[in-house]
Amino acid sequence: MAGSITRRGPSSWRLKFEAGTRDPASGKRQTRYVTVRGTKRDAQRKLHALLTAVDNGTAVDPSRVTVAEHLRDWLSQASHLANKTRERYRGLIDQQIIPHLGRVAVQRLRPAHIADWHATLLRSGGKDGCPLSARTVGHAHRVLHTALARAVQLEIVARNVASMVHPPKVDVAEVVILTSSQIGNVLAKLADHRMLPIVAVAVGAGLRRGEICALRWGDVDLDTGLLRVECAMEQTGAGLQVKEPKTRHGRRRITLPGFVVDALKIHRREQLEQRLVLGLGRPGVADLVFTLPNGSPWGPDYLSRCWHRATSVLGLPQVGLHALRHSHASALIAAGIDPLTISRRLGHGSPAFTLTTYGHLFANTDAAAARAIDGAIGSKR
């Protein structure tokens, strides 16, 4: 039984081979196509495996592959996904997609199936039959869309039906921020509290909680007031893991405000005293900046819980820890810093994302923009 290999791109190959069966209507031999990424040797090995499966009668007819089978196979091969992302995708697949679409053959999936699925999730897709939020439905839709894009690439289907039905619209809520006076009050009330240096970094450098938890002393230069973001801590079912930023923009260098440098200097001195008591010696460049009393790392979820507890005990504004990052961005916008600089400081993929997230805050600077134009043309108004 023969097959052929055709180059489709620098590292992409199309395999063509006979399926070993005949079309029941025409009686003609059925031909299958599979796309493989890698070297030509990889394509040859894949073709050999497919021909062997056909010869042994173990080959799977693509027309019978169900949505459930395809999703699980896709997820198992998506090696580029971070562990936390993989867990989240698996939850969406198992809870929101497979129960409703899992038995449908991928090749028989139609836009009407997608539309009905959206309606069902919005009506009763949550726990105990409660409505599911449009945001969660959108997340599930994007997972299905990505998996079906892989099916198109492998020529299992000719089109991605998830592209033909839009997910439900999500009302964009304005981000919650603290005012400058509130920030000052928060820092004052956290004096002598173990959360103070963490909050100072969050609001003064705009770091995400996972970035705070993974921050090492080698990433901080208190003499020059510079901080590098090189990695982040993620919390998975298997425990805490350090990962690299999702994009190159996440790896960045940040100039620290004076109050953050002061807070970190005090924190370093206190940490050194604690380590000497525990017999751990001076912290090295690979040691974490923020640890629990026993020297173990903070988990992002535990950090959020401790922040929530502190806000309740100390009478602080009832906002999430991420609001401190938003407050950092708000302060930069109010100071007239350009969107590109803000985007780079926050580790966003592009200024467009920054503008989308904080567009309502930029609108507050419109009057200042008008005054700037007046000044440029010498208007006395």
Phi-psi bin for 304: left (phi > 0), alpha (psi -120 to 50), beta?
alpha
Number of domains in the chain: 3
Please report the pLDDT score of residue 368 as a whole number: 63
Please report the pLDDT score of residue 208 as a whole number: 95
Same domain, 226 and 246: yes
Same domain, 201 and 322: yes
Domain of residue 147 covers 69-163
Residue 155 lies in a domain: yes
Specify whether the CB–CB gap between 212 and 198 falls below 8 A: yes
Determine the Cα–Cα distance for residues 229 and 345; give it in Å rounded to an integer.
10
Same domain, 320 and 214: yes
Same domain, 270 and 249: yes
Residue 377 lies in a domain: no
Q: How far apart are the first and last CA of the chain?
A: 85
Same domain, 249 and 139: no
pTM of the full predicted structure? 0.71
Same domain, 293 and 360: yes
Same domain, 132 and 279: no
Task: Tell me which residues of the chain have a pLDDT lower than 70.
Answer: 1, 20-29, 57-63, 363-376, 378-381
Same domain, 141 and 16: no
Please report the pLDDT score of residue 137 as a whole number: 96
Please report the pLDDT score of residue 53 as a whole number: 77
Q: Which tens digits make up the pLDDT trace of 209-248?
A: 999 999 999 999 999 999 999 999 998 888 898 988 877 8
Please report the pLDDT score of residue 60 as a whole number: 59
Same domain, 123 and 241: no
Q: How far is CA 278 from CA 266, 272, 294, in A?
A: 19, 10, 8
Instruction: Extract the tokens encoding 292.
Output: 């629990």
Same domain, 327 and 218: yes
Same domain, 28 and 109: no
Please report the pLDDT score of residue 374 as a whole number: 65
Please report the pLDDT score of residue 166 as a whole number: 95
Determine the Cα–Cα distance for residues 313 and 307; give it in Å rounded to an integer.
10
Please report the pLDDT score of residue 183 as a whole number: 93
